[in-house]
Amino acid sequence: MSEAAATPTPQTEPVSAPLTPAREVWLHFRQNKGAMVGMYFIVCLVLTAILADVLAPHSPIVQFREALLVPPAWQEGGSWRFILGTDDIGRDILSRLIYGARLSMIIGFIVVFLSLGFGVVLGLTAAFARGTVEILIMRLMDIMLALPSLLLAIVIVAILGPGLFNAMIAVSIVSLPHFTRLARASAMSELTREYVSSARIAGAGTLRLMFRTVLPNCMAPLIVQATLGFSNAILDAAALGFLGLGAQPPTPEWGTMLAGSLQFVQRAWWVVTFPGLAILLTVLAFNLMGDGLRDALDPKLKR
Amino acid sequence: MPALLEIRGLTVEFATSRGTLRAVDHVDMDVAEGEVLGVVGESGSGKSVSMLALMGLLGSNAKLTADRLAFAGTDLLTLTPRQRRKLVGKDVAMIFQEPTTSLNPCFTVGFQIVEALKEHMGGTRKWRRDRAVELLTLVGIPDPGARLNAFPHQLSGGMNQRVMIAMAIACQPRLLIADEPTTALDVTIQAQILELLTRLQRQHNMAMVLITHDMAVVSETAQRVQVMYAGQLVETRSADELFTRPRHPYTAALLSSLPEHAERRARLATIPGLVPGIGDRPVGCLFSPRCAYATDRCRGERPALYRDPEGLARCFYPLDDSGRPEGVAA
Amino acid sequence: MTVVMEAKGVRRYYEVRKGMLAKPAVVRAVDGVSFTLEAGKTLAIVGESGCGKSSLARVLAMLEQPTDGELLIDGLPTLAQEPDRRVKLRRAVQMVFQNPYGSLNPRHTVGRILEEPLEINTDLSREARAEAARAILARVGLRPEAYGRYPHMFSGGQRQRIAIARALMLNPRVVIADEPVSALDISIQGQILNLLMDLQDELQLAYVFVSHDLGVVHHIADEVMVMYLGRPVEHGETSLLFDRPAHPYTRALLGSRPRIQTGDKTPRKTLSGELPSPLRPPPGCAFHQRCTFATELCMRDRPELRQVEGRAVACHHAETVLAAAA
């Protein structure tokens, strides 16, 4: 390139401080109180999961034969040794909840990772390939969506065998169509934009176009779906656990905890309530955060 | 005779995440009965926002203040939103830039025209339908009876703009605000639409405010012109005067930057810099960072609108007949 | 002067499905365009929406293959199959788009946007790429800080500068500019046009300038091709066409332009009617329904391009049109 001989007048700089797209999103997100509460809760949950070994007063599977169905500490008959009480075979509920948090986080991450990962690849492929490939992929997703998700998950687990890992695979498969459709819809709308043509003119091949040009611009709805998918994964795994098809006892998964304790609703409410409350609060937190993210990431709401 | 539309000191501010944006800054405007006023400016000039404010079409994050905002003698600032809507849809109408997206895509064209009639004129269903056909014929749409059942996406941009005009004049407004009505259209269709607008304006003695960035369109259509820059009114005078003897440096610079005014392949005269946004609004004259004739006074003090024999200009040293600022050594 | 681009009877047809069982209709978006373009010259393609100029731009930029006809760049046919030939062709033609707000990837920094063509097509090291990007930024009049910023931080005019900079990264011979200044304010248009002219003189770039703005076209173009419904109706030197148009459509276009007038305003003679649907082009001359010079001949026979008074025009009555102006 030649040096700037007749340089045109340099432009006055825009004065706004260099805001990366990420920082702008954060600034908007911060304004949503509900979303911030949700986020703090999740941070606490993640920390609990990581520090479970340190935080839990007891082991989640040790049975204290002398302390069956002990009520929570503030009730008559309770003791501060078992703050939230014990279940019917003497396991400390608080410790089980804490270790259960770790399990829920793992479930959420793995399910979202798998369904997001495969969903994005399938969705982008459908959007770029068009024609027969697209039809095949999308009809397959339609079929999966047409079946009741829980039923489909049960069938998959029945085939693979009960267990937490298989439950996670089942839930991933069931969540796949949502991500695929989102990715495809987003990609299709981005493909009409001129910066994609610009990349083509620069010589970009299909793979580069898919993952480096288009995908970063599709992330907004995918991120929102991922946060909501996290809570769905926990709920679905809990449902499977509830049905005895997910985590097997003595694994302290919240859903499995619920399953084994329904019979105690009258006698020992704490055995049912606390796992249920944990599920409720976690799902609520993720939904609040997901909503906040959606608002913050929506370009139309920004300007 | 009192002006049909009287605006004094209109200011519109938007609350944004980066601070308050003053989109319209103490703007005055007068439109007489049957007059065509051209409002010229580039992006960020506030020309559209000021009219949207008048029509009450701005969102909730907009703050509107004015010393006076009156239409046909009625003070708009004292009206309830309901009263304002009754007035605004009927006597004051507006058409917009993008015809196809300004019409509701879910309803037929006929339905939308009839809806406007129903709201403000009443009448029987038959009368409304006949009037709709009459209006479509008036705006030059062929086969109007059949077109009533067409959806906006089935019609071309030019056709949709005619439909919008039909909706606007349905209730025989006294003032029509046209916000860049032809910018999105091809040049031959542009000519047709402008010709239609001027014809309707003359036939119905309708006042018109024509907002555009195209100086040539304004010179052909308007009697008086207002030039806006960065939310302020910077110059106003008759169209002939403005184009032969502009007094504000911005107007002069804008005119000289048109390709028509340069020799083929010569470098075009340009205005360096950018329109001020939030955060870099100058202390003095808003145009001073870009003005070839700016002095220290210009940079430190905000000029008011100063009257000269033919109009107003917001400049301490308006240009004289030879195109150089008065009172400043060449 | 070297010929950098040559089009020979380029055609681009699209198929439009009309239901499951009906035969698809054919839209002749570009129906026989030929021209030669020399280095350092500008050819303007002028017309209204539906004339095919955007489709032609995409074909010339090699975003789409012509359905028929030939396109040669630097003497090489664009249907070349060898990979290194394709790379060479790819580097020779670049494009600047109309919409400054859509043509830059919102998620990439300016530096990355500029370096991408080099990343894909060359073996330059990271440092070399960055250096080239910074040099180009200076050349188009942007501050070095722009390198790390995102597109949304820039105004429309600045974004077009970035788009032009990107187009220059591969040292192209031809730049297809698709309405590069239409979306910009008047005071910024001049800056960008000046930049384009400077770059053209300095680098001997050839431009194909697609536009509907006749004022800009008159200023910047050496040759003009007027298109109507996919076919060129007049093609010749700019001053010649503007001063003495030979085709009724060219005349109508020029006459429809708003001009700055003071004193007694002469009303413009407007062209009536609308563009016919490309799915149902009229028989004979596509323009005859709206043409004041049309005769029976025009309804039957489609006129071909022929030389009249130093330019090519597709009209049976070109001589009459020229005489009418006199």
Contact A127, A188 (CB under 8 A): yes
* Confidence label for C326 from pLDDT (cuts 50, 70 and 90): low
pLDDT tens digits for range B226-254: 999 999 999 999 999 999 999 999 999 99
pLDDT tens digits for range B283-303: 999 999 999 999 999 999 999
Please give the mean pLDDT across all residues of chain B. Answer: 89
Per-residue pLDDT of chain A (303 residues; tens, 9 = 90+): 333 333 333 333 344 456 677 787 888 888 889 999 999 999 999 999 999 888 888 888 888 888 888 888 888 888 888 888 888 888 898 999 999 899 888 999 999 999 999 999 999 999 999 889 999 999 999 999 999 988 999 999 999 988 888 889 999 999 999 999 999 999 999 999 999 999 999 989 899 999 999 999 898 889 889 988 988 888 888 888 878 888 887 888 888 888 778 888 888 888 889 988 998 999 999 989 988 888 887 765 544
CB contact under 8 Å between C104 and A198, yes or no, is yes
Asked if the model's pLDDT at residue B328 lies above 70, the reply is: no
Residues 190-219 of A with CB under 8 A from C: 193-195, 197-205, 208, 213, 216-217
CB contact under 8 Å between B216 and C258, yes or no, is yes
What integer pLDDT is reported at residue A12 of this predicted model?
A: 39
Asked if the model's pLDDT at residue B123 lies above 70, the reply is: yes
CB contact under 8 Å between A28 and B17, yes or no, is yes
Query: CA-to-CA distance for B167 and B114, rounded, in angstroms?
Result: 8
- Tell me which chain A residue has its CA closest to the CA of residue C90: A203
Contact A179, A221 (CB under 8 A): no
Helix (H, G, I), strand (E, B) or coil at A86: strand
CB contact under 8 Å between C48 and B188, yes or no, is yes
Asked if the model's pLDDT at residue C60 lies above 90, the reply is: yes
Judging by beta carbons within 10 Å of its beta carbon (0-12, 13-18, 19+), is residue C191 exposed, middle or buried?
A: buried
Residues of chain A neighbouring B274 (CB-CB closer than 8 A): 11-12, 14
What integer pLDDT is reported at residue A10 of this predicted model?
A: 36
What integer pLDDT is reported at residue A15 of this predicted model?
A: 42
Residues of chain A neighbouring C106 (CB-CB closer than 8 A): 21, 195, 217
Taking the CB of residue C21, how many other CB atoms lie within 10 A of it?
5
What integer pLDDT is reported at residue A18 of this predicted model?
A: 60
Taking the CB of residue C240, how many other CB atoms lie within 10 A of it?
16
Q: pTM here?
A: 0.87
Higher pLDDT pick, A122 / B184: A122
Beta sheet of C25-38, edge-to-edge order: C25-38, C3-16, C68-73, C76-77
What integer pLDDT is reported at residue C170 of this predicted model?
A: 93
Task: Tell me what the mean pLDDT of segment B256-270 comes to.
Answer: 86
Helix (H, G, I), strand (E, B) or coil at A15: coil
- Minimal Cβ distance to C271: which of B188, B243, B253: B188
CB contact under 8 Å between A216 and C120, yes or no, is no
Judging by beta carbons within 10 Å of its beta carbon (0-12, 13-18, 19+), is residue C280 exposed, middle or buried?
A: exposed
Contact C221, C181 (CB under 8 A): no
What integer pLDDT is reported at residue A57 of this predicted model?
A: 87
Task: Tell me what the mean pLDDT of segment C41-55 comes to.
Answer: 92
What integer pLDDT is reported at residue B199 of this predicted model?
A: 92
Judging by beta carbons within 10 Å of its beta carbon (0-12, 13-18, 19+), is residue B277 exposed, middle or buried?
A: middle
CB contact under 8 Å between B216 and C214, yes or no, is no
Best of A194, A196, A214 to substitute, by most chain C Cβ atoms within 10 angstroms, is: A194
d(CA A193, nearest CA chain B) in Å = 19
Query: CA-to-CA distance for B95 and A235, rounded, in angstroms?
Result: 52
Dihedral sign (CA C64, C65, C69, C70)? positive
Taking CB atoms and an 8 Å cut-off, how many pairs form between chains A and C? Answer: 105
pLDDT tens digits for range B18-37: 778 899 999 999 999 999 99
Taking the CB of residue C316, how many other CB atoms lie within 10 A of it?
21
- Minimal Cβ distance to C186: which of B157, B159, B257: B257
What integer pLDDT is reported at residue B16 of this predicted model?
A: 79
Query: CA-to-CA distance for B141 and B144, rounded, in angstroms?
Result: 6
Name the nearest CA neighbour of A164 among A248, A82, A236, A223: A248
Task: Tell me what the mean pLDDT of segment C241-267 comes to.
Answer: 87
CB contact under 8 Å between A21 and C105, yes or no, is no
Output the DSSP codes for A103-151.
HHHHHHHHHHHHHHHHHHHHHHHHHHH-HHHHHHHHHHHHHHHHS-HHH
Task: Tell me what the mean pLDDT of segment C4-22 comes to.
Answer: 87
Best of C62, C63, C105 to substitute, by most chain A Cβ atoms within 10 angstroms, is: C105
Name the nearest CA neighbour of A156 among A165, A146, A167, A147: A167
- Tell me which chain A residue has its CA closest to the CA of residue B61: A303
pLDDT tens digits for range C28-42: 999 999 999 999 999
Please give the mean pLDDT across all residues of chain C. Answer: 90
- Structure-token pair, residue C217: 């076209």
Higher pLDDT pick, A118 / C152: A118
What integer pLDDT is reported at residue A302 of this predicted model?
A: 47
What integer pLDDT is reported at residue B36 of this predicted model?
A: 95
- Structure-token pair, residue A110: 């793995």
ipTM: 0.86
What integer pLDDT is reported at residue B327 of this predicted model?
A: 67
What integer pLDDT is reported at residue A90 of this predicted model?
A: 86
* Confidence label for C81 from pLDDT (cuts 50, 70 and 90): low
Ramachandran area for residue B19 (φ above 0: left; ψ -120 to 50: alpha; else beta):
left
Asked if the model's pLDDT at residue B85 lies above 90, the reply is: no
Angle of CA points B314, B320, B323, to nearest 5°:
100
What integer pLDDT is reported at residue A118 of this predicted model?
A: 96
Asked if the model's pLDDT at residue B279 lies above 60, the reply is: yes
Ramachandran area for residue B170 (φ above 0: left; ψ -120 to 50: alpha; else beta):
alpha
Q: How far is CA C72 from CA C10, C185, C226, C325, in A?
A: 11, 35, 21, 37
Task: Tell me what the mean pLDDT of segment B163-176 comes to.
Answer: 91
Judging by beta carbons within 10 Å of its beta carbon (0-12, 13-18, 19+), is residue B259 exposed, middle or buried?
A: buried
Q: What string of H, E and C letters represents the secondary structure of chain C?
A: CCEEEEEEEEEEEEEECCCCCCCCEEEEEEEEEEEEEECCCEEEEECCCCCCHHHHHHHHCCCCCCCEEEEEECCEECCCCCHHHHHHHHHHEEEECCCCCCCCCCCCCHHHHHHHHHHHHCCCCHHHHHHHHHHHHHHCCCCHHHHHCCHHHCCHHHHHHHHHHHHHCCCCCEEEEECCCCCCCHHHHHHHHHHHHHHHHHHCCEEEEEECCHHHHHHHCCEEEEEECCEEEEEEEHHHHHHCCCCHHHHHHHHHCCCCCCCCCCCCCCCCCCCCCCCCCCCCCCCHHHCCCCCHHHHHCCCCCEEECCEEECCCCHHHHHHHHC
